[in-house]
Amino acid sequence: MLLSKSEGKEFLLMGNQAIARGALEAGVSVAAGYPGTPSSEIIENLAAVAPDADLYVEWSVNEKVSLEVAAAGSFAGLRSLCVMKQNGVNVASDFLLHLVLSGTRGGMVLIPCDDPGAISSVNEGESRYFARLMEIPLLEPGDFQEAKDMTKWAFELSEEISNVVMLRSVTRLSHASGNVKLGELNRAKPSAKFNFSGNLLDAKTGPVITAPVPFRHTQQQAKLKKAIDLFERSPFNRYEGPENPELLIITSSACYLYSREALRVLDAEKRAGILKLGTTWPLPPELLKKHLAAADKILIVEEVLPFLEENIKILAMENIDSIGKIKFFGKNNGTIPSVNEMNPDHVIKAVSSILNIPYTGMPEEYEKSGQILSFTKSPNRELTFCPGCPHRASYWSINRALTLNGKNGFVCGDIGCYTMAILPAGFGTIKTAHSMGSGTGVASGFGKLKSFGLNQPVVSVCGDSTFFHAGMPALVNAVHNGSDMLLVILDNSGTAMTGFQPHPGIPSDAAGNKLPSVDIESVCRSIGAKTFTTDPFNISETEKKVLDIIENETGARVLIMRQGCALSPEKKGKKKYNVSVDSNICKGTDCGCNRLCTRVFRCPGLVWNSSTGKAVIDEIICAGCGVCADICPSGAIKRSEVMS
Amino acid sequence: MIDPFNIIITGVGGQGNVLAARMLGNTLTKAGYYVTIGETFGASQRGGSVMSHLRVSKESSWSPQIPKGKAHLIIALEPIESLRVLAAYGNRDVKVVSNTRPIYPVGVICGDLAYPSLPDLNTAVAQLCDDARFINATEEAVALGHPILSNVIMVGAAAGLGLLPIDDESFKSVISENVPESKIDINMKAYRKGKEMAVDPVKF
Amino acid sequence: MQVKGSKEIRAGVLDSGLCTGCGACVSLCPYYATHKGKTVMHFSCTRDEGRCHAHCPRAEVNLDMLSSVIFGEEYSAEPFGSYISIYTARAGDKAGLSSFQTAGTVSALMKFSMEKGYIDSAVLTKNDNGFGVPVIVNDPSGIEKASGSRYSVSPSVKGVNEAINSGRKKIGTVSTPCQTLAIAQMRGNPVKQENFIDPIALSVGLFCTWALRASDFTDLLKSMGDVSTIRKLDIPPPPSSVMEIETGNKSYIIPLEEIRKLVPEACSYCHDMTAEFADISVGVFEGRNKQNIAIIRTERGRKIFDEAVNAGYLIREEISSKDIAPLAAASINKKKKGLAKLADAELVNSEGKDAVIRIKKSTLESIFKGGALCC
Ligand SMILES: Cc1cc2nc3c(=O)[nH]c(=O)nc-3n(C[C@H](O)[C@H](O)[C@H](O)COP(=O)(O)OP(=O)(O)OC[C@H]3O[C@@H](n4cnc5c(N)ncnc54)[C@H](O)[C@@H]3O)c2cc1C
Ligand code: SF4
Ligand code: SF4
Ligand code: SF4
């Protein structure tokens, strides 16, 4: 599909596929990124066609490096793409701040995929403000066709202004699908060369640097002005509606789809219009002035922060003479909720209250009975680790070791599947959870608080991919500063959370080619940390090791718990053990067990049969790791090795 | 067909919800419709509920989220998920076609929560919709050779309700594009089986 | 006795500084564990009733009920609790012991009972890197290896639970008063298990004024050298007020006031000095070098004791009431202090909430009055 030559034909494409296709139509040569929902499929899709499309595709160690890698492509004259989820922009922002000053050569597009509502994130970060902060153009596709078309255009725009262009997607575009008419693929293979011998001040031939800053900054702002001119005429900004609407909705991104739907549902298309913006920074002032002047009431529909709203208000204020008095509705006055994702209902509600159009989404009595029935008959699905997941076993042992130690030790976590240890799935073991690698940095800090009386053992957990991403500097910090802490690296051989992208510890790249792998243990050792390893499936040994390291070792130390993810291609569908429960031995709820396996350990492979009062193994779900056999206090869970 | 026609495919991570939405969406696209699919699969691999919203229209594309209370057809790959979806998107006119095979939430597996009996669930679902049909899709899929075929059976069942403008040929061409040659027949068999089952659902 | 569950144990005992670390709740189930003398709870159990609560010496101990299980009579206010007779005692030549704490009475009793087949195993407490840990001995020759006192809090009852789990039916136990109380509670089958047969064939209790926080005490010992070379720890009777430590080639003397700093809060609630619910209780005969005092409390205790004497495993002498007066005074003193502290915390006979001790009001009053029979 991605390399289909059926130009002009329509396909049902996922937003991320559409973006990838757009990049291919633009003739992208270099694509780099760091996995993160909802962005990962862009790089994945490109990686899948990399050999056929003459692309270099890379899962980089973190977002900042991915931006640097992509920038190199641009400096060498190639079109390059960089992809990340919203919070990745924070990581990349230091380089970005400098990159926008030095400018780019080959078209370079940065695509952050935001996740309003934090559907699969631990934050509701905003990348749009970075565009303003960094003074670069911001594009926001309003549907799937635009996702493709604007991506392609973004490269052209970037080359036009010799700077990075940000194209922001959101979950409801990236992870949604719609009809997309394909365009022509650009199959030219450009050659790369980095020119640097020109004049120091020549952006095309000189060295790529940010100095002299005032000069470059002036240039950068001039580029932005140029973008404004292009935006005034851009087909991605359009107005739909009556000439003088009672209400003007200004919106962008997926919110455009919700707004359009709201007007249709309320049959208000003759009364209200929509100014759909594809270029949201810098705003095209003439276009906005024209539309702001045509309406008295303006509703701004956007997700997360009032970015459009603020910028439009500034523009309106500056042009108050020509625009006249208008009333704004949006986040600031509470018409639109200030957190969480948008949906048609929010917009319908806003429009129906402004235009006084009655609307009932769901009759009250239906809603009530629906809620009662679903509450009573539809048991909640709590998130948990997969059957056979090594994290469950790891946290079991970490939790027990900290309890045995009895000194109120705690675990600082960060981002990955293993963050679920804030839930019963991981026995609530994690007590702080923030950004990538943060557990180790926070632990490094805790580990220096002895002199203030903090005597609690300090542990951090970090996944293998996260270790390379941002855990390493934190470990260096802890070692160098003599922090007293234990870093547990939950090494499950892959970036499991986002669907098994490789990382530097894995001997292959995004396209499956062989690469040298970086050995985590030797890295830790050479950093100067005392290093230990264990197999978390051996729970008694793991518990002993954790306890021993906590009690008998000091300084920054590392314990690597190594066991592949249950969903990894090597493991999926292959059982190591056949596992069963001997119901004659199982104690069930009796004193002496009280359902340790099903109630506490909670592997989905273990089922509590309330009618017999015994635990049983669900052979379909059980992954055959055999760990529960070691957990059962009665020896009721039997395992036997599967003959291969 | 009501325009836009709003379909929700709901289930649990790992059931192939996204794939089912794709199959249905592609078939409808082939039939000349605008289709928008919104997917919520953030926690899909970790036992969470997964839901796809399909908006089907002859005129234009619609947003990836169905407004509250406005679904027309709910396809539940897992029985209790239909109830959850009805509570948010249901109405008295909505049709429900649901698999009978439960996937127990961890809370149920570990004995903290109770899972309703099928007749019980049927009664609850029936209270919230116009027409509820339960079919033994997983059992049938296992009989056909693989439980994953149950989502094809469910798509077939949705087609069998006669509400959607899809025909066997367009479905076949979608299947042919997505599975190896050798698997086309079994998939078509599953699809047809689903169609049959929809008109002869489980009786309670 | 009201049996509750682990919720009450966690809140009322573990988290309230009342846990004695006896190990009575450990090895009954997966939720309790002991590490370096401390009992901890893993995860949580939701049962409303459990053996953990039923056996715990710090949760709803009904002294009258317990006394009637072990002695068939109400709990008395006497300084030593119920007993038949008191003697001085020491190991006889037949016992063949060369090392022991005071005079070897305890080890001799165990050895005799095992050789005679009165017990099939003995749960003793050995030294493990400075920590006391239970050991199940199945062979008379192993008894001496675990002789001597570990002054740190030791989860000895865990060993009893493990012996029971492994099917032992005639177990001999050596235990401090809190441990003895826990064992006695278990013997009363408080959770009404079907076909319950008391698995304890001989319960020997040790006198005890206090034990020491295991981790801190071991740290102290470690600061003096390799703990594995420690041969003996002893607290000679007053007026000396020191602890003597003998290692491979050195001996150390630590003032008792230093040592007392390591006494856990939990010991200050203890009202039992002489292990009142044992078959036989043994301690130091203060002022008489190398002599034990043995309090014979039950008929089966008396039988074994007499036989051991007759067989030359033990040497027994009569003791005058004047000689036991200091012990009685110390015992009554401990009772008063412990019960008063519990009462202050509203943990004696408390109504509407959990009590540590339930005791007849009149008995309690006579203890506070000074003890009816005291010297
Ligand atoms: C913590 C503690 C405090 C004591 N306080 C006093 C006191 O204040 N006044 C007094 O008269 N006597 C006290 N004793 C008892 C005394 O130390 C001797 O154990 C007793 O006199 C028996 O001497 P023995 O020679 O017969 O012992 P041995 O024949 O040497 O046998 C001692 C037995 O005690 C067991 N043991 C050792 N440590 C422990 C322990 N921590 N918990 C349970 N069992 C253990 C050993 O396994 C061995 O079987 C105390 C003992 C302990 C363990
Ligand atoms: S842990 Fe063992 S004894 Fe307890 S319920 Fe599970 S299988 Fe039964
Ligand atoms: S062996 Fe036990 S712990 Fe492992 S997947 Fe199966 S049920 Fe779960
Ligand atoms: S009630 Fe029984 S199973 Fe539960 S914690 Fe107490 S002893 Fe263990």
**Does ligand 3 lie within 6 Å of residue A581's CB atom?**
no
Q: What pLDDT is stored for residue C273 in this prediction?
A: 97
pLDDT tens for residues C78-114? Answer: 999 999 999 999 999 999 999 999 999 999 999 999 9
Whether A390 is in the pocket of ligand 3, judged by its Cβ within 6 Å, is no
Query: In a 3-state reduction of DSSP, which class is residue A321?
Result: helix
> Quick one: which ligand is closest to A574's CA?
3
Q: For residue A495, what is the DSSP state?
A: B
A591, A592, A600: residue with CB nearest C43: A600
A71-87 pLDDT, tens digit per residue, is 999 999 999 999 999 99
- CB contact (8 A) between residue B42 and residue A37: yes
- Quote the pLDDT of residue C288: 82
* CA C361 remoteness from chain centre: 25
Nearest C-alpha neighbor of A11 from the set A520, A20, A97: A20
Residues 6+ apart with CB under 8 A from C86: C80, C293, C294, C295, C296, C319, C324
pLDDT for C247 equals: 80
For the stretch C297-319, pLDDT in tens is: 999 999 999 999 999 999 999 99
Please give the Cα distance from A323 to A505 (Å, whole number): 58
Say yes or no: CB of residue C175 within 6 Å of ligand 1: yes
pLDDT at residue number C238: 75
Contact: A618, B66; criterion CB under 8 Å? no
Q: Which atom of ligand 2 is nearest to the CA of A589?
A: 5
Alpha carbon separation from C52 to A374, A598, C152, C182, C195 (Å, rounded): 39, 21, 22, 10, 20
**Do the chains contact at B69 and A366, CB–CB below 8 Å?**
yes
CATH assignment of A238-354, given 3.40.50.920, 3.30.160.100, 2.40.128.20, 1.10.10.10? 3.40.50.920
**Identity of the residue in C36, C40, C46 whose CB atom sits nearest the CB atom of A403:** C40
Cα angle value C141/C147/C148 (rounded, 5°): 165
Q: If 0-12 CB within 10 Å is exposed, 13-18 middle and 19+ buried, where does residue A195 land?
A: middle
A187 CB neighbour count, 10 Å cutoff: 12
Q: Identify the CATH number of the domain defined by range A390-562.
A: 3.40.50.970
SS3 category, A256: helix
Q: What is the pLDDT of residue C227?
A: 78
| Confidence at residue B110, expressed as pLDDT on a 0 to 100 scale | 87
- Maximum CA pair distance of chain B? 49
Task: Please determine, for residue A170, whether its predicted confidence score (pLDDT) is greater than 50.
Answer: yes
Q: Is C6 in the pocket of ligand 1 (CB under 6 A)?
A: no
Provide the pLDDT for residue B46: 65
Share of chain C above pLDDT 70, in %: 98
Question: Residue C371 pLDDT > 60, yes or no?
Answer: no
The DSSP call for residue B94 is -
**A128-163 pLDDT tens trace:** 999 999 999 999 999 999 999 999 999 999 999 999
Q: Write out pLDDT tens, residues A558-573.
A: 999 999 998 888 888 8
Give the nearest partner residue to A362 out of B64, B91, B106, using CB atoms.
B91
User: For ligand 1, what atom is nearest to the CA of residue C91?
Assistant: 26
Tokens standing for residue A319? 């042009």
Best residue of A175, A181, A381 to probe chain B, by most B CBs closer than 10 Å:
A381
Residue with tokens 């087609």: B159
CA pair distance C140, C308, nearest whole angstrom: 14
pLDDT bin (cut points 50, 70, 90) of residue A497 is low
Check if A637 has its Cβ closer than 6 Å to any atom of ligand 2.
yes
Q: Tell me how many residue pairs between chain A and chain B have CB atoms under 8 A apart.
A: 181
Mean pLDDT of chain A: 95
pLDDT tens, N- to C-terminus, chain B (204 residues): 899 999 999 999 888 899 999 999 999 999 999 999 999 865 555 678 899 999 999 999 999 999 999 999 999 999 999 999 999 999 999 999 999 999 889 899 889 999 999 999 999 999 999 999 999 999 999 999 998 899 999 999 999 999 999 989 999 999 999 899 999 999 999 999 999 999 999 998
Query: pLDDT tens digit string along A9-55?
Result: 999 999 999 999 999 999 999 999 999 999 999 999 999 999 999 99
Residue A406 contacts C where some CB pair is shorter than 8 Å: yes
Contact between chains at A406 and C43 (C-beta distance less than 8 A): no
> What's the confidence (pLDDT) of residue C224?
81
Q: What ligand is nearest to the CA atom of residue A641? A: 3
Residues of A in contact with C39 (CB under 8 A): none
C-beta atoms of A591 and C47 within 8 A:
yes
CA C139 to chain A, closest CA, distance in angstroms equals 27
Backbone angles phi, psi at C200, to 5 degrees: -95, 120
pLDDT level of residue A326 (50, 70, 90 thresholds)? very high
Nearest CA in chain B to A385: B46
With the most atoms of ligand 1 within 8 angstroms of its CB, the residue from C34, C204, C206 to mutate is C206
Point out which residues pair with B74 in neighbouring strands. B8, B96
**C299-310 and C105-116 helices cross at what angle (nearest 10)?**
90
pLDDT in tens, A255-280: 999 999 999 999 999 999 999 999 99
Atom of ligand 3 nearest to the CA of A605: 7
A488 strand-pairing partners: A461, A559
Q: Does the C-beta of C148 come closer than 6 Å to ligand 1?
A: yes
**In terms of C-beta density within 10 A (0-12 exposed, 13-18 middle, 19 or more buried), how is residue C293 classed?**
buried
Question: Nearest CA to A336 among A308, A296, A371?
Answer: A308
> Which residue of chain A is at minimal alpha-carbon distance from C41?
A403
Which of A404, A427, A631 faces C33 most closely, judged by CB atoms?
A: A404
Mean pLDDT, range A521-549, rounded to an integer: 98
Range with the lowest mean pLDDT among A296-300, B133-137, C219-223? C219-223
Return the structure tokens found at B188. Answer: 């078509």
> For the structural domain made of B5-198, what CATH number should be given?
3.40.920.10
Helix/strand/coil (H, E, C) string of chain C?
CCCCCHHHHHHHCHHHCCCCCCCCCCCCCCCEEEECCEEEECCCCCCCCCHHHHHCCCCCEEHHHHHHHHHCCCCCCCCCCCCCEEEEEEECHHHCCCCCCCCCHHHHHHHHHHHHCCCCEEEEEEEECCEEEEEEECCHHHCHHHCCCCCECCCHHHHHHHHHHCCCCCEEEEECHHHHHHHHHHHCCCCCCCCCCCCEEEEEEECCCCCECHHHHHHHHHCCCCHHHCCEEECCCCCCCEEEEECCCCEEEEEHHHHHCCCCHHHHHCCCCCCCCCCEEEEECCCCCCCEEEEECCHHHHHHHHHHHHCCCEEEEECCHHHHHHHHHHHHHHHHHHHHHHHHCCCECCCCCCCCEECCHHHHHHHHHCCCCCC
Beta-strand relationship, A297-301 and A247-252:
parallel
Residues 464-523 of A with CB under 8 A from C: none
Per-residue pLDDT for A98 more than 50? yes
Q: How far is B137 from chain A (nearest CA, A)?
A: 17
Which protein residue has the closest C-alpha to ligand 3 atom 2? A628
Atom of ligand 2 nearest to the CA of A608: 5
Instruction: Measure C47 CA to ligand 3 centroid, in angstroms.
Output: 25
Which residue among A396, A539, A579, A581 has the greatest number of ligand 2 atoms within 8 angstroms of its CB, and so is best to mutate?
A581
Q: Does the pLDDT value for residue A512 go beyond 90?
A: no
Report the gap between the CA of A165 and the closest CA in chain B (Å). 26
Which member of B22, B67, B147 has the closest CB to residue A345?
A: B67
Average pLDDT over residues A383-387: 91
For residue A508, the model assigns a pLDDT of 87
Alpha-carbon gap: B82 to the closest alpha carbon of chain A (Å): 9
As given in the structure block, the two tokens for residue C290 are: 């190398």
Inspect the interface and report whether the beta carbons of C29 and A403 lie closer than 8 Å: no
Kindly give the distance from the C-alpha atom of residue C161 to the centroid of ligand 2, in angstroms, as a whole number.
Answer: 19
Tell me how far CA of residue C118 lies from CA of A229, A554, C110, C304, in angstroms. 102, 50, 9, 8
* pLDDT surpasses 60 at C375: no
Please give the pLDDT value at position C372.
Answer: 42
Mean pLDDT across A165-185: 97
- Per CATH, A238-354 and A577-641 having the same topology is answered no
From chain C, which residues contact A within 8 Å (Cβ)?
28-31, 33, 35-36, 38, 40-47, 49-52, 191
Give SS3 for B14: coil
Instruction: Return the ligand 4 atom nearest residue C47 CA.
Output: 1
For the beta sheet containing A556-562, the strands, ordered from the edge strand earlier in sequence to the opposite edge, are A430-433, A410-413, A458-463, A485-491, A556-562, A530-534
Q: Where are the alpha helices (DSSP H) in A378-486?
A: 390-405, 438-446, 464-466, 472-480
Our answer on whether the CB atom of A579 is closer than 6 Å to any ligand 3 atom is yes
Q: Is residue A106 exposed (0-12), middle (13-18) or buried (19+ Cβ within 10 Å)?
A: buried
Q: How many Cβ atoms from other residues are within 10 Å of residue C241's Cβ?
A: 12
Q: CATH assignment of A10-186+209-232?
A: 3.40.50.970
Q: Give residue for tokens 């409801």.
A: A172
pLDDT level of residue C373 (50, 70, 90 thresholds): very low
Write the residue in C30, C44, C46 that is nearest to A633 by C-beta. Answer: C30
Tokens of B42: 């953030």
* Contacting residues of C for A405, CB less than 8 Å apart: 35
Q: Do B106 and A425 touch (CB under 8 A)?
A: yes
Fold of A577-641: Alpha-Beta Plaits (3.30.70)
Name every chain B residue with its beta carbon within 8 A of the beta carbon of A360. 69
Contact B102, B74 (CB under 8 A): no
Flag whether pLDDT at A241 surpasses 80: yes
